[in-house]
A and B are shown apart, each in its own frame.
Chain A
Amino acid sequence: MYACLYRPQQSDTYDVNRGGRAGRRTHPDRSAGSELDAIAQAFSPRYERHHDDLVSIDVTGLERLFSRPERGGPRSVWTTIGEALRREAAVRGVRVHVAVAGTCTAARVLALARPGLTVIERGGEAAALAPIPIAIFLRSHVSSLGAASSNSCVETFIRWGVRTAGELAALPPDDLAARLGRPARVWHAIARGEDVRPLVPALEAERFESSLDLDWPIEGLEPLSFVLTRLLEPLSTRLERRDRGAAVLHVLLRLVTRTSTGAGGEEPVESREVWTRRLELPSPMRDVRTLRTLALLDLESHPPSAAIDRVTIVIDPTPGRVLQHTLFTRAHPTPEQLSTLVARLGAVMGQDRVGAAQVVDSYRPGAVATRPFKTEHPPSGAASLRSRPDDGDVWPARGDDVQSLRAGLRRCRQPVPARVVAHDGHPVRVTTDRRGFAGGSVVRCAGPWRTSGEWWSTGWNRDEWDVSLTDGAVYRIFQDHQTEAWFIEAIVD
């Protein structure tokens, strides 16, 4: 059995005789939804809020709580439940229509159509709905049912002269479906008071939080790792049950600081503060070892300043990853492995030294940027496991054919200052004081290529040359026009 609560708006009175709305509809009060939720929660955890002013409750199983044997049989139980719902609403200062019926659809339509309390026994839904005008189906509360997303069917029924739900229920459903499609069949079921979909209970947002008070404050990260494992294991289990992964991991450490007042014999004063760290995880994960390692690595870089006497872990959940393994692509490191790896590398090399290279939209030579390395990579469409040609192809014959590849540069992030002897505007000798850059005479050179930019800020203005030296190396050098100084910028390799 289902009960439905409808909270009518003041301006939303429905004139059954006229078959239309009597007044302008106003937006329902925002708090109405929460009030109806509270009423529903007081009776059953299985309730669904269809709209801010309409809630359906599964009241099956409440008979034992509300049965009054001395007052009659089972019929009075549903009436008792309905009256209890109205009383609860009245206590909260909410005026509601209450309907109790064997199906959720019937209860909802009756609550919308009839004020006060309406109780329909199981099996009597179609008869109870029969006199109700189908114009009421035009309301969004009803049309939100199942696949009946369009009101055009109802308008067609009205044009056909069908006025009540009973008249609609009497029509042959197959012929309706043949003319108007699947929505017509759904409307036909609604007119008969049949459910077109089950009740979907609203679930309260679950909070993934775990906390542990320690008998003695701990110092150092090694004992903390055991505490983190203890806290994370049940959280991981709960996440798995809900098919959720951690999107953000909050680590809250309550630190105890003891300060001596200086006076002899007095106890030191304890002060407590909370040290909070927030880890945004690159992909949803719930592996305990990974989460613990990431938390510890973060705390290694940002260690707490005092002993810890309380540890709290809060996880912001997100839907878990759906993995479809395949035999036709290479195995990649899992997001957990990559996240841990990037965190470890960040601890060793520095957070800004690890990532994915990014091409910068700039003409500045050597402009470079990095971005966080993605931990999830879709299989490449062009990827192939083959490293050999097809059977029909042939490897190139062993011969003198020369394969060409694109020359790469090795860029000096800080250009190496150089001494350049120029003759007739061309560099003829390049030397430096830097170890490893001995330099030598210029054998061939190409240039100059003038490049400049960003004159409005710290811009550049220089002539670039590609020079081949007697030491066998090819360098890209430049002369800065502002300082007239020469630098080695890159090595052609």
Chain B
Amino acid sequence: MPLARTDLESLLRARRLDRTLTTALPPIVNDEYAVAATGITTLDARLEGGFPRGQLSELVGPRSSGRTSLLLQMLAAATARGELVALVDALDMFDVDSAAAAGIDLDRLLWIRGHVVTNPGLCRDLNQRAIEQAIRAFTLVLQAGNFGLVVFDAAEAPVAAIRRLPFTTWLRLHRIVEGRPTTCVLVGAEPMARSSAGLTLRLGVREPGSAGEPRARFRARLFDGLDLEARAVRARRHDDVRVSLSTAAV
């Protein structure tokens, strides 16, 4: 089988079709200009530096899977590096106290709050419009350039609302951010952009326990935190990355 693969690759190279080979892709340069560290040394080590700059990356997972905790950590690490960061909070769920506790320099965080109607009534498309509005704001921030980290947070948005967005939206965003020193992160329940060059980090409970058994830790009468696992499910070179994480309650 390896021989057949080698033959096939040499044949493709002979016909100048080797650009479709993953081995022909330019090597990932592991330096501070190519990647942005998350601030979690274990994860950064396994991701060879962190999240790639100039690409659309994703943080996906179900509710209480640690997306927000990891996101806050990434924002804190970026502001600690002196970068400006922006958060497009599509559903206006950002908790300022958690952010301050995570160590984010709030002066360097541009917070864009979405308009969400709690009870839209008959106007069911109001919140869909809010998502589209947030995408417009996200596009403006990316076009401005020179932000270190730009996050589009639609983690609690209905999957159907995200799927209704034209798929060209993500291609357009990818074109904007490509080649820039910006780390672009989408946060959602499901993968949205599915960028081949970006990194998709799926978060979940550390071990599949019994049915309905969350990995929340309780100590006596206190909530202690969550036991999590981060897995790179789509990336050029991080297919086998699994990192265990745990969160400590605020």
Report which A residues bind B (CB closer than 8 A): 329-333, 337-338, 340-342, 344-345, 348-350, 353-360, 366, 368, 370, 373-374, 377, 379-380, 382-389, 395-396, 398, 400-414, 435-436, 440-441, 443-447, 466, 468-474, 490-493
Residue B190 at the A interface, CB < 8 A? no
**What's the minimum C-beta distance from B151 to chain A, rounded to whole angstroms?**
13
Closest to B77 in A: A387
Q: How far is the CA of A396 from the CA of B44 in the complex (A)?
A: 9
Query: B146: which of A337, A389, A440 is its contact (CB, 8 Å)?
Result: A337
Closest to B82 in A: A383
* Contact in complex: B95, A408 (CB < 8 Å): yes
Q: How far is the CA of A194 from the CA of B33 in the complex (A)?
A: 60
Q: In the complex, which residues of chain A have a beta carbon less than 8 angstroms from the beta carbon of B146?
A: 330-333, 337
Q: How far is the CA of A407 from the CA of B99 in the complex (A)?
A: 10
Residue B158 at the A interface, CB < 8 A? yes
Q: In the complex, which residues of chain A have a beta carbon less than 8 angstroms from the beta carbon of B188?
A: none
Closest to B134 in A: A349
Q: How far is the CA of A370 from the CA of B96 in the complex (A)?
A: 10
* Contact in complex: A345, B141 (CB < 8 Å): yes
Q: In the complex, which residues of chain B have a beta carbon less than 8 angstroms from the beta carbon of A492?
A: 64, 216, 223, 226, 249
Q: How many A-B residue pairs have CB under 8 A?
A: 259
Q: How far is the CA of A370 from the CA of B106 in the complex (A)?
A: 10
* Contact in complex: B83, A330 (CB < 8 Å): yes
Residue B200 at the A interface, CB < 8 A? no
Residues of B within 8 A of A (CB-CB), count: 92
In the complex, chain B residues 61-113 whose Cβ is within 8 Å of any chain A Cβ: 62-73, 79-84, 92-102, 105-113
* Contact in complex: A446, B115 (CB < 8 Å): no
* Contact in complex: A368, B212 (CB < 8 Å): no
* Contact in complex: B115, A413 (CB < 8 Å): no
Q: How far is the CA of A409 from the CA of B100 in the complex (A)?
A: 12
Q: In the complex, which residues of chain B have a beta carbon less than 8 angstroms from the beta carbon of A491?
A: 63-64, 93, 156
* Contact in complex: A443, B214 (CB < 8 Å): yes
Q: How far is the CA of A472 from the CA of B64 in the complex (A)?
A: 7
**What's the minimum C-beta distance from A103 to chain B, rounded to whole angstroms?**
53
Known: A333-B144, A345-B137, A349-B112. A403 touches B41 (CB 8 A): yes
* Contact in complex: B44, A387 (CB < 8 Å): yes
Q: In the complex, which residues of chain A have a beta carbon less than 8 angstroms from the beta carbon of B32?
A: 385-388
Known: A446-B223, A473-B64, A474-B214. A382 touches B80 (CB 8 A): yes
In the complex, chain B residues 19-77 whose Cβ is within 8 Å of any chain A Cβ: 30-32, 35-37, 40-46, 49-50, 62-73
Q: How far is the CA of A385 from the CA of B35 in the complex (A)?
A: 11
Residue B222 at the A interface, CB < 8 A? yes
* Contact in complex: B181, A331 (CB < 8 Å): yes
* Contact in complex: A349, B133 (CB < 8 Å): yes
**What's the minimum C-beta distance from A250 to chain B, rounded to whole angstroms?**
26
Closest to A380 in B: B82
* Contact in complex: A359, B97 (CB < 8 Å): yes
* Contact in complex: A406, B69 (CB < 8 Å): yes
* Across the A-B interface, the 7 shortest Cβ-Cβ residue pairs: A383-B82, A395-B45, A408-B68, A380-B82, A407-B247, A466-B223, A493-B68
Q: How far is the CA of A490 from the CA of B250 in the complex (A)?
A: 13
Q: In the complex, which residues of chain B have a beta carbon less than 8 angstroms from the beta carbon of A472?
A: 62-64, 205, 212, 214
Q: In the complex, which residues of chain B have a beta carbon less than 8 angstroms from the beta carbon of A350?
A: 115
